[in-house]
Structure 1
Amino acid sequence: MDLGTGLPLHNNMLGPLATLQVHHIFPKAVLNAHGYGRGEVNAVANFCFLTQNTNLAIGKKNPQDYLAEVQAKYPGALESQWIPTDPDLWTPERYPDFLAARRRLLADAANIDQLVEWGCVEPLIDSEIADPETGAVLAVAEAFWPDGLQPGQGAPVVLELDEDAANLARLEELGFEVYTSVSALRGRVRRRNEEAALVTVPDA
C-alpha cells in the first residue's frame, strides 16, 4: 500500500506523479544530521516503494512524525511494506534497531528459516537488484539468492512478494528465477529436495 494514499501499489498507476519510486523510510537528511554514514543511510532495509507524489510529500519529514500519520490514517499500510510499527523504533537514535527489526519482518514474511532448514543457503534480505546494463532498480526483493539456492547450483533466485512494484519480465529476461509467493518457492525447494533424495519433504 502507498503510505500517502493507502491505495495498492502497482506499475500501471495513473497520473503524472503516480509512478513508483524507491523511498528512504528514514530520509537521508535526517540520518546525515545524526552522523550516519552513506552505507547505513542507503541500507536496503531503509527502502520501500511509494508513488512519486507521496515521496515528494514526505520529503525530509522525520519518521516519528509521518509514520504516525500513516498508521492513524491507513491501518495496515505500514504492515503491507513490512515497516516496524513500534514508534520507539522511528527515532534516528534507534535507526540500527529499526533496520534489524525490518530485516526480521522481511525474513519472517519469506519463511527464510524454514528454507534454510531445507538446505538453502542464507539469502540476502531486502536486496536491491539493478539492471546490469542500465543500472535501473528492477526490484527490492524480500529475499535474493545471487548464486542459486545452493552455491553454484542453478540460476539466481528472487523472491519478490510485491510483483507490481518490480520489473519481473526484465528479471526473467536476465535469467533470474523469480517467485512471487512463498508457497511457490517452498514448492520449488520441496521438489528439488525430493528429486535429490528421493524422499518426500513434509508440508510445514
Structure 2
Amino acid sequence: MFGVVGGRAALRPAAVRGTLATVVVAVLVAATLIATGTSSGATDAGRGGGPGAAARPVLSAVTAPDPAAADGARGEADVSYHGHVSLWNGHVGVWLATANHGPSPVSGATVRLRFSLAFDPGATLPPSCLRTGPSAVQCGTGPMRAAGNGVQLALDLATLGTPTEVGLDIDTVWNGGMTDHNPANNTHHVLAPATGDPYTF
C-alpha cells in the first residue's frame, strides 16, 4: 500500500512537469502565429489551404465600358448643316438647311452660329433662335426623322459698323444625345467678304 502510494507520489511531479512543458509549447506556438499574422487553423490560400482554411476575398477585375456598346445604346445619327452666308452694307445674311442622314431619328438638335464681329442688339431672330452673346446665336432644329430634312433657318443681322468681311463658325451644341461619327458635315468655318455674294458651306 505504502509502495503504491509512494509510487503515485513519485509520479505526480513528473506529470506536472509534462503539463508545464505542454503549456510552454502552446504559448510559443501562439506567439509565433501572432508574429506572422496567421490565425489559428488558417493556411495560406496560395499554398493550397485545406477545408479548414480561412476564406479570403476575391477581387474581380473591373472591365472598362465598351465604347461601341455605349454608342449602340445611345443610337446613331448623322446631323448635317449646309447653306451660305453673305455680307453687304453692314448686314450679315445666313441661310442654313438642317438634315439627318440617319440611321436613327433625332428628337432635336441645337446649332450654334458664332460670328467674328458683334451685331446689333436689337436684331430680330427666328422664333427657334436665341442670342447667347454679342456675336453668337443658337437655334433649334426640331425633330428630324432618319434620312430626312429638318428646318431651314434664315437670319438677317445688322452689324455694328460696316465691316469688310465676316467669319462664321458653325457647330452642334446638342444632337439629342445621339452618336455622330461624321461631325465634319455639321462643323463649318466660312469667311465672307463684303461683296454681297453667297459663300457656301
TM-score range with shorter-chain normalisation? under 0.3
The structure in which a higher percent of residues are strand is 2
Higher gyration radius (CA): 2
The structure in which a higher percent of residues are helix is 1
More contact order relative to length (CA 8 Å, sep ≥ 6): 2
